[in-house]
Structure 1
Amino acid sequence: MKIKFKKKRLYPNLLLGLLWTAIGVFNILEDNNLRWMDYGYFVIGILYLLHFIYDFKNQYLTIESGTIRKNALYGYRKKINLNEIYLIKKNTGDYILKTENQHLNINPNLIDENSFYTLTNLLGKLNLPSHKTPFSNIG
Protein backbone atom coordinates (compact mmCIF):
# COMPACT_ATOMS: atom_id res chain seq x y z
CA MET A 1 0.00 0.00 0.00
CA LYS A 2 1.28 3.45 -0.86
CA ILE A 3 0.65 6.60 1.15
CA LYS A 4 0.54 9.27 -1.52
CA PHE A 5 1.92 12.79 -1.64
CA LYS A 6 -0.45 15.71 -2.02
CA LYS A 7 -0.65 16.84 -5.62
CA LYS A 8 0.57 20.32 -4.71
CA ARG A 9 3.74 18.65 -3.38
CA LEU A 10 4.35 16.68 -6.60
CA TYR A 11 3.45 18.95 -9.48
CA PRO A 12 5.69 21.95 -8.77
CA ASN A 13 8.69 19.69 -9.53
CA LEU A 14 7.09 18.77 -12.85
CA LEU A 15 6.43 22.41 -13.73
CA LEU A 16 9.92 23.52 -12.70
CA GLY A 17 11.44 20.64 -14.64
CA LEU A 18 9.54 21.55 -17.80
CA LEU A 19 10.40 25.23 -17.39
CA TRP A 20 14.15 24.70 -16.84
CA THR A 21 14.33 22.13 -19.63
CA ALA A 22 12.55 24.48 -22.04
CA ILE A 23 14.90 27.34 -21.12
CA GLY A 24 17.90 25.05 -21.59
CA VAL A 25 16.70 23.74 -24.95
CA PHE A 26 15.87 27.26 -26.13
CA ASN A 27 19.31 28.56 -25.13
CA ILE A 28 21.11 25.62 -26.74
CA LEU A 29 19.19 25.92 -30.03
CA GLU A 30 19.10 29.72 -30.18
CA ASP A 31 22.57 30.71 -29.04
CA ASN A 32 25.58 30.57 -31.35
CA ASN A 33 27.97 31.06 -28.41
CA LEU A 34 27.14 28.17 -26.13
CA ARG A 35 28.12 28.59 -22.51
CA TRP A 36 28.17 25.99 -19.77
CA MET A 37 25.11 27.63 -18.18
CA ASP A 38 23.05 26.85 -21.29
CA TYR A 39 23.64 23.16 -20.58
CA GLY A 40 23.19 23.79 -16.86
CA TYR A 41 19.58 24.91 -17.35
CA PHE A 42 18.88 21.75 -19.28
CA VAL A 43 20.52 19.54 -16.63
CA ILE A 44 18.61 21.27 -13.80
CA GLY A 45 15.37 20.68 -15.69
CA ILE A 46 16.14 16.99 -16.18
CA LEU A 47 16.94 16.64 -12.46
CA TYR A 48 13.59 18.21 -11.50
CA LEU A 49 11.80 15.88 -13.92
CA LEU A 50 13.59 12.85 -12.49
CA HIS A 51 12.65 13.96 -8.97
CA PHE A 52 9.00 14.24 -10.05
CA ILE A 53 9.07 10.79 -11.67
CA TYR A 54 10.67 9.21 -8.58
CA ASP A 55 8.16 10.82 -6.20
CA PHE A 56 5.21 10.01 -8.47
CA LYS A 57 6.24 6.37 -8.78
CA ASN A 58 7.27 5.71 -5.15
CA GLN A 59 5.10 8.24 -3.28
CA TYR A 60 5.74 9.25 0.35
CA LEU A 61 5.38 6.01 2.31
CA THR A 62 5.16 2.35 1.38
CA ILE A 63 3.52 -0.13 3.74
CA GLU A 64 4.06 -3.79 2.90
CA SER A 65 4.93 -7.07 4.61
CA GLY A 66 4.55 -5.59 8.09
CA THR A 67 6.94 -2.69 7.47
CA ILE A 68 6.57 1.00 6.79
CA ARG A 69 9.17 2.70 4.58
CA LYS A 70 9.69 6.38 3.93
CA ASN A 71 10.80 6.86 0.34
CA ALA A 72 13.42 9.54 -0.26
CA LEU A 73 15.35 10.31 -3.40
CA TYR A 74 18.04 12.10 -1.44
CA GLY A 75 19.37 10.50 1.71
CA TYR A 76 18.44 7.21 3.28
CA ARG A 77 15.19 5.34 2.92
CA LYS A 78 14.03 4.65 6.44
CA LYS A 79 12.22 1.40 7.09
CA ILE A 80 10.79 0.07 10.36
CA ASN A 81 8.71 -2.93 11.33
CA LEU A 82 5.18 -2.09 12.38
CA ASN A 83 5.19 -4.71 15.14
CA GLU A 84 8.30 -3.12 16.73
CA ILE A 85 6.68 0.30 17.20
CA TYR A 86 6.23 1.00 20.89
CA LEU A 87 5.37 4.72 20.74
CA ILE A 88 3.67 7.09 18.31
CA LYS A 89 4.16 10.68 19.29
CA LYS A 90 2.73 13.84 17.75
CA ASN A 91 5.29 16.63 17.87
CA THR A 92 4.73 20.05 16.23
CA GLY A 93 2.43 18.55 13.61
CA ASP A 94 4.66 15.60 12.73
CA TYR A 95 4.11 12.03 13.83
CA ILE A 96 7.11 10.18 15.20
CA LEU A 97 7.04 6.38 15.14
CA LYS A 98 9.56 4.96 17.61
CA THR A 99 11.09 1.53 17.94
CA GLU A 100 13.91 0.45 20.25
CA ASN A 101 16.65 1.34 17.75
CA GLN A 102 15.18 3.88 15.35
CA HIS A 103 12.44 6.38 14.67
CA LEU A 104 10.53 7.57 11.63
CA ASN A 105 9.17 11.09 11.23
CA ILE A 106 6.01 11.49 9.15
CA ASN A 107 4.90 14.93 7.98
CA PRO A 108 1.09 14.81 7.53
CA ASN A 109 1.17 18.08 5.57
CA LEU A 110 2.74 16.19 2.66
CA ILE A 111 0.16 13.38 2.60
CA ASP A 112 -2.96 13.23 0.44
CA GLU A 113 -6.17 13.38 2.50
CA ASN A 114 -7.42 9.89 1.57
CA SER A 115 -4.00 8.37 2.18
CA PHE A 116 -3.76 10.11 5.54
CA TYR A 117 -7.08 8.56 6.57
CA THR A 118 -5.74 5.13 5.56
CA LEU A 119 -2.50 5.71 7.47
CA THR A 120 -4.23 6.85 10.66
CA ASN A 121 -6.54 3.82 10.54
CA LEU A 122 -3.57 1.49 10.13
CA LEU A 123 -1.62 3.13 12.97
CA GLY A 124 -4.73 3.17 15.15
CA LYS A 125 -5.03 -0.61 14.84
CA LEU A 126 -1.56 -1.22 16.31
CA ASN A 127 -1.68 -2.79 19.76
CA LEU A 128 -0.42 0.22 21.69
CA PRO A 129 -1.66 1.54 25.02
CA SER A 130 -3.77 4.68 24.66
CA HIS A 131 -1.12 6.83 26.36
CA LYS A 132 1.46 5.80 23.72
CA THR A 133 -0.49 6.79 20.62
CA PRO A 134 -2.56 9.77 19.44
CA PHE A 135 -4.75 7.31 17.48
CA SER A 136 -6.31 5.47 20.43
CA ASN A 137 -9.84 6.64 19.51
CA ILE A 138 -9.61 5.37 15.92
CA GLY A 139 -10.78 1.93 15.09
Structure 2
Amino acid sequence: MKIRFKKKTLYVKLMLGIIWTGLGVFLILEDDASKWFDYGYLVLGIAYLGIYSFDLTYQYLTIENGTIRKNGLHGFGKKIKLNDINWIKKYAGEYTLISATKQLKINTEILDEKSLQDLNSVLEKLNLPSDKTPFQPSNLV
Protein backbone atom coordinates (compact mmCIF):
# COMPACT_ATOMS: atom_id res chain seq x y z
CA MET A 1 0.00 0.00 0.00
CA LYS A 2 1.33 3.43 -0.94
CA ILE A 3 0.65 6.45 1.23
CA ARG A 4 0.51 9.31 -1.25
CA PHE A 5 1.50 12.97 -1.17
CA LYS A 6 -1.10 15.68 -1.60
CA LYS A 7 -1.27 16.73 -5.23
CA LYS A 8 -0.43 20.30 -4.19
CA THR A 9 2.88 19.11 -2.68
CA LEU A 10 3.84 17.41 -5.94
CA TYR A 11 2.73 20.37 -8.09
CA VAL A 12 4.87 22.78 -6.08
CA LYS A 13 7.96 20.63 -6.74
CA LEU A 14 7.09 20.41 -10.43
CA MET A 15 6.57 24.16 -10.74
CA LEU A 16 9.82 24.95 -8.91
CA GLY A 17 11.66 22.56 -11.23
CA ILE A 18 10.18 24.19 -14.32
CA ILE A 19 10.87 27.72 -13.08
CA TRP A 20 14.49 27.06 -12.07
CA THR A 21 15.20 25.12 -15.28
CA GLY A 22 13.63 27.84 -17.41
CA LEU A 23 15.59 30.56 -15.60
CA GLY A 24 18.82 28.62 -16.06
CA VAL A 25 18.23 28.05 -19.77
CA PHE A 26 17.25 31.70 -20.27
CA LEU A 27 20.36 33.02 -18.48
CA ILE A 28 22.68 30.68 -20.38
CA LEU A 29 21.20 31.55 -23.79
CA GLU A 30 20.69 35.27 -23.08
CA ASP A 31 24.22 36.20 -22.05
CA ASP A 32 27.32 35.52 -24.13
CA ALA A 33 29.49 35.49 -21.01
CA SER A 34 27.67 32.90 -18.93
CA LYS A 35 28.62 32.73 -15.30
CA TRP A 36 28.96 29.60 -13.20
CA PHE A 37 25.79 30.33 -11.21
CA ASP A 38 23.77 30.46 -14.45
CA TYR A 39 24.45 26.74 -14.69
CA GLY A 40 23.59 26.42 -11.00
CA TYR A 41 20.00 27.49 -11.74
CA LEU A 42 19.81 24.82 -14.42
CA VAL A 43 21.23 22.16 -12.08
CA LEU A 44 18.81 23.22 -9.33
CA GLY A 45 15.87 22.98 -11.73
CA ILE A 46 16.89 19.54 -12.94
CA ALA A 47 17.31 18.42 -9.33
CA TYR A 48 13.78 19.60 -8.48
CA LEU A 49 12.41 17.79 -11.53
CA GLY A 50 14.23 14.64 -10.38
CA ILE A 51 12.77 14.95 -6.88
CA TYR A 52 9.30 15.46 -8.38
CA SER A 53 9.73 12.39 -10.58
CA PHE A 54 10.94 10.28 -7.64
CA ASP A 55 8.10 11.43 -5.38
CA LEU A 56 5.50 10.86 -8.09
CA THR A 57 6.75 7.32 -8.65
CA TYR A 58 7.41 6.10 -5.11
CA GLN A 59 5.22 8.46 -3.04
CA TYR A 60 5.82 9.22 0.68
CA LEU A 61 5.37 5.88 2.46
CA THR A 62 5.06 2.24 1.52
CA ILE A 63 3.39 -0.28 3.81
CA GLU A 64 4.02 -3.89 2.84
CA ASN A 65 5.20 -7.18 4.32
CA GLY A 66 4.69 -5.94 7.87
CA THR A 67 6.91 -2.87 7.50
CA ILE A 68 6.36 0.82 6.97
CA ARG A 69 9.04 2.56 4.90
CA LYS A 70 9.63 6.24 4.27
CA ASN A 71 10.71 6.35 0.67
CA GLY A 72 14.05 7.60 -0.54
CA LEU A 73 14.89 11.25 -0.52
CA HIS A 74 12.62 12.05 2.45
CA GLY A 75 14.01 9.44 4.81
CA PHE A 76 16.73 7.71 2.86
CA GLY A 77 14.68 4.51 2.87
CA LYS A 78 14.17 4.51 6.63
CA LYS A 79 11.81 1.71 7.71
CA ILE A 80 10.37 0.12 10.81
CA LYS A 81 8.51 -3.15 11.35
CA LEU A 82 4.90 -2.68 12.36
CA ASN A 83 5.19 -5.40 15.02
CA ASP A 84 8.16 -3.60 16.61
CA ILE A 85 6.26 -0.34 17.16
CA ASN A 86 5.57 0.11 20.86
CA TRP A 87 4.55 3.78 20.96
CA ILE A 88 2.91 6.25 18.59
CA LYS A 89 3.17 9.95 19.42
CA LYS A 90 1.02 12.51 17.66
CA TYR A 91 2.14 16.12 17.87
CA ALA A 92 1.74 19.15 15.58
CA GLY A 93 0.64 17.28 12.46
CA GLU A 94 3.30 14.63 12.83
CA TYR A 95 3.28 11.00 13.94
CA THR A 96 6.38 9.55 15.55
CA LEU A 97 6.49 5.77 15.46
CA ILE A 98 8.82 4.46 18.15
CA SER A 99 10.28 0.98 18.60
CA ALA A 100 12.98 -0.18 20.98
CA THR A 101 15.74 0.79 18.53
CA LYS A 102 14.23 3.11 15.89
CA GLN A 103 12.05 6.16 15.38
CA LEU A 104 10.17 7.11 12.23
CA LYS A 105 8.58 10.55 11.86
CA ILE A 106 5.65 10.97 9.47
CA ASN A 107 4.48 14.44 8.41
CA THR A 108 0.71 14.05 8.05
CA GLU A 109 0.21 17.55 6.62
CA ILE A 110 1.66 16.56 3.23
CA LEU A 111 -0.45 13.39 2.90
CA ASP A 112 -3.43 12.92 0.63
CA GLU A 113 -6.67 12.73 2.68
CA LYS A 114 -7.52 9.16 1.55
CA SER A 115 -3.96 8.02 2.22
CA LEU A 116 -4.07 9.56 5.70
CA GLN A 117 -7.22 7.55 6.41
CA ASP A 118 -5.46 4.40 5.17
CA LEU A 119 -2.44 5.12 7.37
CA ASN A 120 -4.67 5.74 10.39
CA SER A 121 -6.50 2.45 9.83
CA VAL A 122 -3.19 0.55 9.70
CA LEU A 123 -1.91 2.23 12.86
CA GLU A 124 -5.23 1.69 14.68
CA LYS A 125 -4.89 -2.07 14.17
CA LEU A 126 -1.65 -2.23 16.15
CA ASN A 127 -2.14 -3.76 19.59
CA LEU A 128 -0.82 -0.94 21.72
CA PRO A 129 -1.86 0.13 25.23
CA SER A 130 -4.25 3.10 25.23
CA ASP A 131 -1.62 5.41 26.74
CA LYS A 132 0.84 4.57 23.93
CA THR A 133 -1.36 5.45 20.94
CA PRO A 134 -3.57 8.36 19.86
CA PHE A 135 -5.98 5.94 18.12
CA GLN A 136 -7.82 4.49 21.10
CA PRO A 137 -11.47 5.61 21.48
CA SER A 138 -10.67 7.64 24.58
CA ASN A 139 -7.95 9.57 22.69
CA LEU A 140 -9.91 10.33 19.53
CA VAL A 141 -11.41 13.79 19.31
Whether the TM-score (by the shorter chain) exceeds 0.5 is yes
TM-score with structure 2 length normalisation? 0.90
Of the structure 1 ranges 86-95 and 54-63, higher mean CA displacement relative to structure 2 is found in 86-95
Aligned-pair identity (%): 55
Task: Give the match for residue 85 of structure 1.
Answer: 85
TM-score with structure 1 length normalisation? 0.91
Aligned counterparts, 1:104-119, within 5 A = 104-119=104-119
Aligned residue pairs: how many?
138
Task: Give the match for residue 11 of structure 2.
Answer: 11
Of the structure 1 ranges 48-57 and 74-83, higher mean CA displacement relative to structure 2 is found in 74-83
CA distance in 2, matches of 1:51, 1:87: 31
Letter in 1 for 2:116: F
TM-superposed deviation, 1:111: 0.8
CA distance in 1, matches of 2:102, 2:87: 11
Deviations 1:2-60 (A, max 9, x none): 10111221111110110111111122222222221221111111011111111111111
Deviations 1:111-138 (A, max 9, x none): 1100000000011011122222111238
Listed as ranges, the gaps of 5+ residues in structure 2 are none
Residue aligned with 1:128, SS: coil
CA distance in 1, matches of 2:78, 2:112: 20
C-alpha distance 26-93 of structure 1, shift in aligned 2 (>3 A): closer
Question: Is contact 2:60–2:74 with CA below 8 Å preserved after alignment?
Answer: no
TM-superposed deviation, 1:75: 5.5
Listed as ranges, the gaps of 5+ residues in structure 1 are none
User: Are residues 1:43 and 2:43 paired?
Assistant: yes
**CA-atom RMSD in angstroms:** 1.6
CA distance in 2, matches of 1:48, 1:2: 22
Letter in 2 for 1:90: K
